[in-house]
Amino acid sequence: MNKPTASPPTKIPSRDIKTIVNAGLARRHAAERRFRWYGLIAITLGLTFVVLMFANIIGKGYPAFWQTYIQVPVTFDAAVIDPQGNRDPQAIETADYAALVRAGMRQLFPNVQGRLELRALYGLVSSDAAHELQDRVLQNPALIGASQEVWLLASASVDTLVKGNIDRALDESERPIKDNQLEWVDKLQAAGKIEKQFNTILFTSGDSREPEQAGIRGALMGSFFTLLVTFLLSFPIGVATAVYLEEFAPKNRWTDLIEVNINNLAAVPSIVFGLLGLAVFINFFGLPRSAPLVGGLVLSLMTLPVIIIAGRAALTSVPPSIREAALGMGASKLQMVGHHVLPLAMPGMLTGSIIGMARALGESAPLLMIGMVAFIVDVPKGFMDPSTVLPVQIYLWSDLPERAFVERTSAAIMVLLAFMILMNGLAILLRKRFERRW
Amino acid sequence: MQSFLLLTLLLLSIGGYYMGRKRAFAVAGGHIRNLHSLPSFYGSYTALWCGLPALIVFALWATLQPSVIIDLVVAGMPPELRNLPPDRLNLIVNDLKNLVGGNIVSSTPDPAMLEAANHYRNLRVIGNASLWVVVMTLAIGGIAHAWRTISPTLRARNRVEKIVNLFLIFSSTVAIFTTLGIVLSVVFESILFFRQVPITEFLFGLHWSPQTALRADQVGSSGAFGAVPLFAGTLLISGIAMLVAVPIGLMSALYLSEYATPKFRAVAKPALEILAGIPTVVYGFFAALTVAPLIRELGAALGLHVASESALAAGLVMGIMIIPFVSSLSDDVINAVPQAMRDGSYALGATKSETITRVLLPAALPGIVGSILLAVSRAIGETMIVVMAAGLSANLTANPLAAVTTVTVQIVTLLTGDQEFDSPKTLAAFALGLVLFVVTLILNIIALRVVRKYREQYE
């Protein structure tokens, strides 16, 4: 750079600058290319993370949509189900169906002897198999006395083995499935008596300690009730706030305070809302813990800022000429808003609300504070029943060591993501369909 | 039962609307020009008279009834039960509620309890019945009142609009009440906590082990509530997250706004923003089950000891989560820099990267700093990733391979599970919440102020 001062005076300075610039050009272009590459690498990294996460979760989760069943010859022995022979429904309901399952398993492997061996054999099917037989008999009492080949739910360890997630080379003591069980499963597989069927249990039952019987229905219903409360509270209040601030509020310190408040609330960590819910709704108002009502209250406070901010943006995008025309025709201010501005802003408001609801659907931290983390088997039926929500169910399952639960956790995540994609897709569709450029 | 009452009330209000409208037509002699307001306003006026007072009474009644009934039942109990200390009485009341609800009670109930349960049931039936009577009387009385007052000169529109306006104002104060609720609930519990543990010890103490404070007779019963290890752990994990998120987010934003073709931008920008929409619990699962074991194995291969709940794993994944915040916020700021500044730089012969580093970045710096501050506040308040992937033990260390714990993790662990509300253990969670709230609030205020100031400069 200091070359020009040292150059002899006979040369023309402009040519000199040109050579200097030319000399630096290669270096500068290289720097330019490097910089460009850094940018590209950053983008690629970011996109790789997206792909990696999805691949990881789908790879882990898709086997959970199939469940292993074992075909067992079951004799619906009248002596076991209905010893009196009078078809008393009470007796039929409380009969020892597990004995039928055990008999069926013995029939499959007549050579197995000894208590320990037999217990290992019975361990191949889930404890839920007895319920399955009970359901069948209750639905169709004519089955009593008949024999049937029945597909019974396999236990989680058999399921894991069939899906290839147990290393057979491991020492027997380190495997959840023992050598003799391994041998039986292989025999069953060779005979075509093991089959993977679509896992309906995942969608029809609540939580369970047994992986093969655990489902997300309870969590889904909990999420549904919670989100319903959230929507019913936050949408009207959010829209009303947006309308007030945008159309009616005088410009003074009070409304300034409200605005600053809303912007700050949007950035408060979600767990702080959980503390609020615990201190105010549960301790002060004495509402029940773990109830969707409380969860919905907390989430609606969290979602409000999102809806308000989106609602205000939608209202400002409606041109003033609409308002002036309405007022000019003699409408009152409220009529102007209710009949003209609000309908035009509604698609934008709905889009914002759906995005806010999608976020509320994925939220779990504040719900941990208000006790929605309990182990709940029953599917909730109302706003006051103890329940959990889908993300919290994922959190609970992710703590469990069994491989089968890892699979189910991933499957639950896939369901959660599917709902979120659905909601966001709906929001985008709404925007595309109804957005108006003025 | 109560939802049925609400439904009836709703139907009555709808009925009231049509009755009011019809009444308005009738008093106007069939010509609406004789009326002060449009007929629908008379309808709404009637519906409001029907629904609103009844609804207010219903809400008050429904919240007060349970405690009033409990008081009455306790007052009617035999004296030996009534005079028990409050905590025992609470247990009895709980038993009573279970008995009434038909749940299984631990022991066979004694006759006094059974009688109390019967008393409870009777009172509840009476309460619900009188609620019905009162609400229905109010609703029908409201309709009757509106019916009588409707006349062509009644200013129905003004009255209805006044009510709607009140509702709008009330809605807009919900945000204020929320903030107030947060501040009050956290501050009150924190004050209780600081009565037991001095504030200086909490803010500057180096040792954190709240679990020892459970029983008064244990060794070290005072517990240790020095929160510095938590602050350090939070900063360590957030720091790692920012090291991941800032370069990647900023470079992506620069590339997307300066280099990318519109087509590429249209695809890549939303794809990157998917990261912002994924629930944090999913990141936590990813961190705990995929990233943490990977880092541990990698460390083992290099001969390093990596804790299975290392700060690195949680920080890395949190960084991935924050990328879209940094990138989309900086994207906005970069796009706000006037094109003239770029053109000026190009005219002087600068390359694109020189323009970016010497013109664009200095011009956009305040905004970028603001967006980074927002991202930091996000990282500090993030809960699920650290709950699932970071440790529980409070180590005061700067080693990213060791397990550390954070403020949010401790809040969750202190407040889930059984709790009594006066032990320093649970109160400590609120004190931590207060710190979290104040710090994120300050960060947000600074960030928003910086961003706004910068925007004004160019608009």
Give one DSSP letter per residue of A152-219, joined into a string. Answer: EEBPHHHHHHHTT-S-TTS-GGGSSS-HHHHHHHHHHHHTT-EEEEE--HHHH----SSGGG--SHHH
Average pLDDT over residues A123-141: 83
Residue type, B434: L
Identify the band that residue B1 occupies on the pLDDT scale cut at 50, 70 and 90: low
- DSSP annotation of A67: E
Q: At what angle do helices B39-75 and B111-149 cross, to 10 degrees?
A: 160
Identify the band that residue B109 occupies on the pLDDT scale cut at 50, 70 and 90: low
Share of chain B above pLDDT 90, in %: 43
**A268 vs chain B: nearest CA distance in angstroms?**
7
Q: Is the pLDDT score of B220 beyond 90?
A: no
Question: Cβ–Cβ of A240/B172 closer than 8 Å?
Answer: yes
Q: Is the pLDDT score of A301 beyond 50?
A: yes
**A354 vs chain B: nearest CA distance in angstroms?**
13
A247 and B164 Cβ atoms separated by less than 8 Å:
no
CB nearest A332 (choices: B161, B323, B430): B161
Does residue B164 belong to the interface with chain A, where contact is any CB pair within 8 Å?
yes
Spatial strand order of the sheet with A66-75 comes to A147-153, A66-75, A194-198
Question: CA distances (Å), A295 to each of A306, B200, B262, B433, in order?
Answer: 17, 35, 42, 19
Q: Domain extents for chain B? A: 2-154, 224-458
Question: CA distances (Å), A181 to each of A168, A178, B175, in order?
Answer: 12, 5, 61
**B109 vs chain A: nearest CA distance in angstroms?**
24
Which residue in chain A has the smallest CA separation from B158?
A332
Residue B458's pLDDT is what?
65
Mean pLDDT, rounded, of chain B: 86
B36 and B158 Cβ atoms separated by less than 8 Å:
no
Q: Which of residues 68-127 of B touch A (CB under 8 A)?
A: none
Q: Which of residues 366-405 of A touch B (CB under 8 A)?
A: 368-369, 371, 373, 391-392, 394-395, 398
CB nearest A416 (choices: B251, B279, B444): B279
Question: Cβ–Cβ of A261/B179 closer than 8 Å?
Answer: yes
Distance of CA B156 to the CA centre of its chain: 39
Phi and psi at B202, nearest 5°, equal -65, -45
Residue A319's pLDDT is what?
93
**B183 vs chain A: nearest CA distance in angstroms?**
9
The pLDDT tens digits of the residues spanning B341-359 come to 999 999 999 999 999 999 9
Q: Is the pLDDT score of B22 beyond 60?
A: yes
Residue with tokens 């909490």: B202
Residue B101's pLDDT is what?
66
Task: Please give the interface size between A and B, counted as residue pairs whose CB atoms are below 8 Å apart.
Answer: 254
In angstroms, rounded to a whole number, what is the distance separating the alpha carbons of residues B427 and A429? 46
Average pLDDT over residues B270-291: 90
The pLDDT tens digits of the residues spanning B72-95 come to 887 877 777 777 777 777 777 777
Average pLDDT over residues B159-169: 93
Q: Which of residues 305-344 of B touch A (CB under 8 A)?
A: 320, 323-324, 327
The token pair at B266 is 């249209």
- CB environment A290-308: b (16+ within 10 A), e (fewer): bbbbbbbbbbbbbbbbbbb
Q: Is the pLDDT score of A37 beyond 90?
A: yes
Average pLDDT over residues A131-148: 82
Residue A183's pLDDT is what?
83
In angstroms, rounded to a whole number, what is the distance separating the alpha carbons of residues B241 and B379? 7
Identify the band that residue A1 occupies on the pLDDT scale cut at 50, 70 and 90: very low
Q: Which of residues 156-175 of A touch B (CB under 8 A)?
A: none
The token pair at A250 is 């005088």
> A98: Cβ–Cβ under 8 A, 6 or more apart, which residues?
A127, A129, A130
Does residue A356 belong to the interface with chain B, where contact is any CB pair within 8 Å?
no
Looking at beta carbons, which residues of chain B come within 8 Å of A371?
416
> A20: Cβ–Cβ under 8 A, 6 or more apart, which residues?
A1, A3, A4
Mean pLDDT, rounded, of chain A: 86
Phi and psi at B303, nearest 5°, equal 80, 20
Q: Is the pLDDT score of A10 beyond 60?
A: no
Q: Residue B47, by phi and psi: left (phi above 0), alpha (psi -120 to 50) or beta?
A: alpha
DSSP helix/strand/coil, A55: helix
Q: For testing the chain A interface, which of B97, B157, B170, B251 should be mutated: the one with the most A CBs within 10 Å? A: B251
Average pLDDT over residues A210-237: 92
Does residue A20 belong to the interface with chain B, where contact is any CB pair within 8 Å?
no
Q: Which of residues 36-65 of B touch A (CB under 8 A)?
A: 63
Q: Which domains does chain A have, with CATH numbers?
A: 63-199 (no CATH), 217-434 (1.10.3720.10)
The token pair at A309 is 């901010």
Half-sphere exposure in the Cβ direction for B257 (13 Å, CA): 25
The token pair at A353 is 């609300």
| CATH code 3.40.50.720 for B224-458 | no
Residue A192's pLDDT is what?
84
Looking at beta carbons, which residues of chain B come within 8 Å of A358?
277
In angstroms, rounded to a whole number, what is the distance separating the alpha carbons of residues A216 and A225? 14
Which residue in chain A has the smallest CA separation from B255?
A39
Q: Can you list the alpha helix ranges (DSSP code H) found in A88-155?
A: 89-94, 97-108, 115-122, 129-139
The pLDDT tens digits of the residues spanning A178-205 come to 888 888 888 888 888 888 888 888 888 8
Q: Which of residues 185-244 of B touch A (CB under 8 A)?
A: 185-186, 188-189
A398 and B289 Cβ atoms separated by less than 8 Å:
yes
B224 and B207 Cβ atoms separated by less than 8 Å:
yes
Does residue A409 belong to the interface with chain B, where contact is any CB pair within 8 Å?
yes
Average pLDDT over residues B177-194: 91
The token pair at A156 is 């989680």
The pLDDT tens digits of the residues spanning B320-332 come to 999 999 998 888 8
In angstroms, rounded to a whole number, what is the distance separating the alpha carbons of residues B408 and B380? 8
Identify the band that residue A32 occupies on the pLDDT scale cut at 50, 70 and 90: very high
Question: Cβ–Cβ of A420/B279 closer than 8 Å?
Answer: yes
Q: Is B267 exposed, middle or buried (0-12, 13-18, 19+ CB in 10 A)?
A: exposed
C-alpha angle B6-B11-B15 in degrees, rounded to nearest 5: 145
Strands B208-209 and A194-198: unpaired
Distance of CA B25 to the CA centre of its chain: 48
Residue type, B370: G
Residue B420's pLDDT is what?
62
Residue B107's pLDDT is what?
57
DSSP helix/strand/coil, B288: helix
Does residue B430 belong to the interface with chain A, where contact is any CB pair within 8 Å?
yes
Half-sphere exposure in the Cβ direction for B63 (13 Å, CA): 10
Question: Cβ–Cβ of A248/B164 closer than 8 Å?
Answer: no
Average pLDDT over residues B208-226: 62
Q: For testing the chain B interface, which of A36, A245, A268, A271 should be mutated: the one with the most B CBs within 10 Å? A: A271
Average pLDDT over residues A419-431: 90
In angstroms, rounded to a whole number, what is the distance separating the alpha carbons of residues B43 and B49? 10
In angstroms, rounded to a whole number, what is the distance separating the alpha carbons of residues B428 and B189? 8
Does residue A244 belong to the interface with chain B, where contact is any CB pair within 8 Å?
yes
Q: For testing the chain A interface, which of B187, B383, B388 should be mutated: the one with the most A CBs within 10 Å? A: B383
CB nearest A263 (choices: B171, B382, B448): B448
Looking at beta carbons, which residues of chain A come within 8 Å of B444?
264, 267
In angstroms, rounded to a whole number, what is the distance separating the alpha carbons of residues A81 and A86? 11
ipTM of the complex: 0.87
> A415: Cβ–Cβ under 8 A, 6 or more apart, which residues?
A216, A220, A390
In angstroms, rounded to a whole number, what is the distance separating the alpha carbons of residues A284 and B283? 34
For the ranges A329-338, B75-84, B421-430, the lowest mean pLDDT is seen at B75-84
The pLDDT tens digits of the residues spanning B365-423 come to 888 998 899 999 999 999 999 999 988 888 888 888 888 999 999 999 888 766 566 67
Taken in order A240, A244, A246, A252, the sign of the CA dihedral is negative
